[in-house]
Structure 1
C-alpha cells in the first residue's frame, strides 16, 4: 500500500484536492515531511481551516428560509431549495462530501504519523486528541448528511458512508453501515477524552477542540442516537466547565460570536454571505417568535419591506459549532426523555429566563410549569427552532424527530417534501458517484 506520510504538505506547500477513481485524489506539491510538534500543529490547523460551510446548504432545505427569486446567486441554491437532488442544475452548489473527507485526511495524518514521531508530552496528547475529535465531528456530519437517521433497530443494515482511517491511495472506499460509522465516531471521542487536556481554548483559538467542546460533541452524538442518559451526562460534564448564558435583557448581543461567553467551539459559519443575500426568513420561522417579548427577534432579524432579512452569520466573527445554549436545551430534552419532567422544566426555564423580557418570562414560567410531557417536548423543540435559527441545527433536528412535511414555493410553483420523505437523506453528490461506483 502506498502511504502518503512522505508527501504531507504544510502551509509552505499547498495540497490540491480533486476527484479520483476512489473518492479523492490528493496531489502533493512539495514534500515537506512533518517532524516537530509545531509542524504537525500546522497540519491540523489546515484541517480545521478546511472544515466546510455545509450547514448553510442544509438550511435551504428546511422550513427556515424563503428564497429571493431575483437574487444574483439564486441558481446556486434553487435546486437545493426544491429538493431536486437527482439531477440538479450544473450551477447548483454541491454538498460538501469531498471537503469533509479532506478534513479527515488531515486528521489521519496526525493520528497515524504524529503518534510515533513525537516525544510524549501534554502538547502531543492535546494535538492527537483534537485530531480524533475533529475526525469524529467530520464523520458525524457526513453520516447525518448522507446516511439515514440513526435507528438502533436498523443501523446495522442502513447504508452509511465510506470509512477512511489511513492515508492510503489504494484503499477501496465502500460505504459502511450507519452503525459502523457511529461506532467509529464514538471510538474517536473516547480516544479524544483520554488525550485532550485543556478544559477550554483561549478566545481566538477556540476553533480548536477542548474538553468542553468534546463533551458538547458527545452530548449531540448521543442525543441523535437516543441514548438519553449518555447525552445528559455529557451535557452536564460540559456545563461544569462552562455554563454561562448571555442574558439578552442586560446584553443584547448575538451569542453566535466567537468571543461570546457562550462560545464552546467556534469553527463553522452556519449562514454564508451568498445565501444571506439570496434568502429571507420564512414566515414559519418568523411566526415562531413572539415579536415583542422574545429578545432574540430584533437581534436575529431586520425588516426588509414585508419580509425579514436574517442578521446572523456571514462574517468571521460568527463562527459557531457549539455553544452553551445547546447544552441547556439538550439537558432539558434528555431529562424529559428520562422521565424527570421537574428537572426538564427547571433547566429550560433557566435558559429562557435569558431570552425573554421579564414580564414575558413570568407568564412563561407559569405556562411551562403547567405543561405535560408532550407539551414540554414541543416547547423545547420549538426553543431549539428559535434559538438556533440558520445555525445548521434545523435540518438535523427535523431528521431525528418529526421529519415533517415542508412546502416551498418558487416562481409560482409549489414543491413538497412529504413527511418521512426519502429526501431527508441527501444522495451522494454526482461527481462522487461518478468517480466511485461503490457509492
Structure 2
C-alpha cells in the first residue's frame, strides 16, 4: 500500500485541465507504477473515494431549501444560493469540476494500464468495467453541471466539457460538443456492460459498480436524453437485479440508507452536513406532501418552530447514488411519455403503495387511474420531488423539464432565476478558467 500511495501522488494532483501543456500542477517525487490486480484495485478505490459532493451544492440552487442567513457557513454558500455566478466572492465554495476530473484520471489509469499488465481473469474484467462505468458517471455529472441540457437538435453544436482519456502533457483540453461527450459516456457504458460480471455488490463495498448499478446509470442517461424507450428498457433490466422497495407502512427507515434493501450503489454523499445545518426546507417542498397519508414526511423532516429541518442527509450511512425507487419512477415517467398509460400507472402504483398509508393509497389509486397523459406525467414529477428530497436529483430534474422561475430571499433581498434562465447551466469555475484559457 506504500507503493500505491506514492503512485497516487501522480493523480491526486491532477486537478482539472490546468492548461494545454501542463496537465499536473505539481511534479511528484518519483513514481511507482502499479503492477498487480491488488495494486490497480487500490488505485480505483482512490478514484471512488475522490468522488465529490457536488450534488449537495446543486440543492442550494433549486427550490428545496431556504438558506439560514445566521449560519456561520453562509459566506461559503451565499453566492451559489443567489446564482451569483459571474463574479462570486473568492470564499464561495466552488463546484467540484476539478475533483470530477480527478476521478476520471484514476479511471484512466485502470483503463489504459491494467489491461496490459494483469493476467486475464473475471476480476480483471470487473475492475476495468468499473473504471469505464465510473468514468461514464463522472462525465455525465460534468456535462449536466457545466453544459446545456441535452437537446438532440442542438447537441452537436452546444458546448460541452473537455474529454481527457489519457495523461498527455501535450494535449490541448478544449471543450467538446454535448453530443461528443454523450457519445463518450455511451461508449464507456457499453464497455462496462461487456466487462462487468458482478450482478450486485455486497454491503460494505456497494460503493462499487455492478451490473445493477450500470443499468441504473444507463436508465438515467437515456432519461436525460429523452430516449424514452431506451430509458424504460434499462430501468426494467436494472429491476431484474433488485426490485425491492422499502415498505414504509411496516419499516419506518430512510430508504436512501446505504444498507436499505433499495440500495443499488452507495457512493455519493449527496447532502453535505454543512449545507444541511445551514438550511431549512422550503414551504414549496414541504407543501407538496400529504402530511396525513404520505409516510415520508415524518421521516424526511423535523419541525423547528414554524419551519422544518431536513432529517435526511449529513450522515455516512445515507450515501446513495442509485436505488430502486428511481428505477420505478424512471420507468413510470418514460412509459407515460410513450403514452403507455396503463403500464405507467401500474408501475407508479407499485411504487407509491410503499410510501402511503392504505387510505392514501386507495385514494391515489382512484385519482391516478383517472389521469390523462399530462396529469400523470406531472404527478410523477411531483413524486420525484417528494421521494428524492435533498438527494441531489431536483436541480437536474428542473434543468431537464420546466426550468421554472425560482425566487430566493436573503437578508431582505429577493433574487430571481427566471424561467429558462441561462444560469440553469453553470459556468466553468474561476480556478479552472484561470488554469485553462481554452475554457
Whether the TM-score (by the shorter chain) exceeds 0.5 is yes
1:83 is aligned to 83
Asked whether the equivalents of residues 85 and 427 of structure 2 are also in contact (C-alpha less than 8 Å), the reply is yes
* 1:363 Cα deviation after fit: 0.4
1:72 is aligned to 72
1:11 is aligned to 5
* 1:31 Cα deviation after fit: 1.8
RMSD after superposition: 1.3
Distance in 2, matches of 1:355 and 1:9, equals: 49
> 5 Å matches for 1:87-102?
87-102=87-102
Number of residue-to-residue matches in the alignment:
432
Q: Which runs of 5+ in 1 are unaligned?
A: 1-7
Q: Secondary structure at the match of 2:161?
A: strand
Distance in 2, matches of 1:334 and 1:180, equals: 24
1:431 is aligned to 431
Deviation sequence 1:320-369 (CA, Å, 0-9, x none): 00000000000000111111000000000000000011111100110000
* 1:64 Cα deviation after fit: 0.3
Q: Does 1:25 align with 2:19?
A: no
1:3 is aligned to none
2:302 is aligned to 302
Q: Secondary structure at the match of 2:280?
A: strand
Deviation sequence 1:29-83 (CA, Å, 0-9, x none): 5522100000000000000000000000000000001010000101111000000
> 5 Å matches for 1:212-231?
212-231=212-231
1:247 is aligned to 247
Asked whether the equivalents of residues 302 and 308 of structure 1 are also in contact (C-alpha less than 8 Å), the reply is yes
Moved more, 167-176 or 48-57: 167-176
Q: Secondary structure at the match of 2:317?
A: coil
Q: Secondary structure at the match of 2:264?
A: strand
Asked whether the equivalents of residues 7 and 34 of structure 2 are also in contact (C-alpha less than 8 Å), the reply is no
Asked whether the equivalents of residues 11 and 46 of structure 1 are also in contact (C-alpha less than 8 Å), the reply is no
Distance in 1, matches of 2:386 and 2:43, equals: 37
> 5 Å matches for 1:336-351?
336-351=336-351
Distance in 1, matches of 2:146 and 2:4, equals: 30
Asked whether the equivalents of residues 77 and 93 of structure 1 are also in contact (C-alpha less than 8 Å), the reply is yes
Q: Secondary structure at the match of 1:10?
A: helix
Distance in 1, matches of 2:40 and 2:170, equals: 24
* 1:118 Cα deviation after fit: 0.7
Distance in 2, matches of 1:357 and 1:11, equals: 52
* 1:383 Cα deviation after fit: 0.2
Query: What is the TM-score with the length of structure 1 in the denominator?
Result: 0.97
| Alpha-carbon spacing, 1:291–1:199, altered in 2? closer, same or farther (3 Å) | same
1:320 is aligned to 320
Asked whether the equivalents of residues 9 and 29 of structure 1 are also in contact (C-alpha less than 8 Å), the reply is no
Distance in 2, matches of 1:44 and 1:284, equals: 40
* 1:169 Cα deviation after fit: 2.2
| Alpha-carbon spacing, 1:122–1:359, altered in 2? closer, same or farther (3 Å) | same
Q: Secondary structure at the match of 2:32?
A: coil
1:53 is aligned to 53
Q: Secondary structure at the match of 1:437?
A: coil
Distance in 1, matches of 2:3 and 2:37, equals: 15
Q: Does 1:141 align with 2:128?
A: no
Asked whether the equivalents of residues 174 and 438 of structure 1 are also in contact (C-alpha less than 8 Å), the reply is yes
Distance in 2, matches of 1:54 and 1:433, equals: 18
1:43 is aligned to 43
Distance in 1, matches of 2:353 and 2:402, equals: 27
Distance in 2, matches of 1:24 and 1:380, equals: 44
* 1:414 Cα deviation after fit: 0.4
* 1:21 Cα deviation after fit: 2.8
* 1:256 Cα deviation after fit: 1.0
* 1:407 Cα deviation after fit: 0.5
Q: Secondary structure at the match of 2:356?
A: coil
Q: Secondary structure at the match of 2:252?
A: coil
2:367 is aligned to 367
Q: Secondary structure at the match of 2:148?
A: coil
Query: What is the TM-score with the length of structure 2 in the denominator?
Result: 0.97
> 5 Å matches for 1:283-298?
283-298=283-298
Distance in 2, matches of 1:26 and 1:124, equals: 31
